[in-house]
Amino acid sequence: MALDEALLENAATLGQPVLRFYDWTEPCATFGYSQKIAQIEAATKLRPLIRRCTGGGLVPHNGDWTYSLIFPPNHEWAVLAATESYLRTHKLLQAAFKEIGVETELADSCRRPKPGECFEGHELHDLLWNGKKIAGAAQRRNRHGLLIQGSVQPTGDWAQTIWQDFLSQDSPQLENMPDVRA
């Protein structure tokens, strides 16, 4: 996640959007920059705990599909309202899932989770599968651009097969994106 922050700080120099996928070397959890570490430590047994530079709640990382989108300050996404860039991100994920035969829906309202726990409830425009949140994201905007960090929490029989297939081949949709590997 430190690389995401570095990419955001250099987004203007990069001059184009960056899409990055990554996974975790061990199970852990991340939490938003405004959350209090003492409250997070009390709320979960997950360790290690890592603070994100974006907002949002507590996100478990243990087999999830983690991604980041970084936009330079002059890109159309960087000037959108936060709700609009959040909606666009989840519409793209929804279209990708539809392409592989997995029907999802965008949450049309909020269902508040336990305090701080991102995937125990859902926010407006989160991606749902069978009524359960499977994708969420958090954002950070500054003069350098926009960073969106997201997690897809795989569920159901389709999840592992799809992710492994995706990672094992070159994706033509990503051909023009810069390759930034962790």
Residues marked as catalytic: 118
SS3 30: strand
Provide CB contacts within 8 A for 92, sequence distance 6+: none
Nearest to 152 by CA among 127, 131, 116, 130: 127
Asked if 151 and 100 touch (Cβ cutoff 8 Å), the reply is no
Phi, psi of 83 (to 5 degrees): -65, -35
Q: Which amino acid is at 170?
A: D
SS3 181: coil
Handedness of CA 104, 106, 109, 111 (dihedral sign): positive
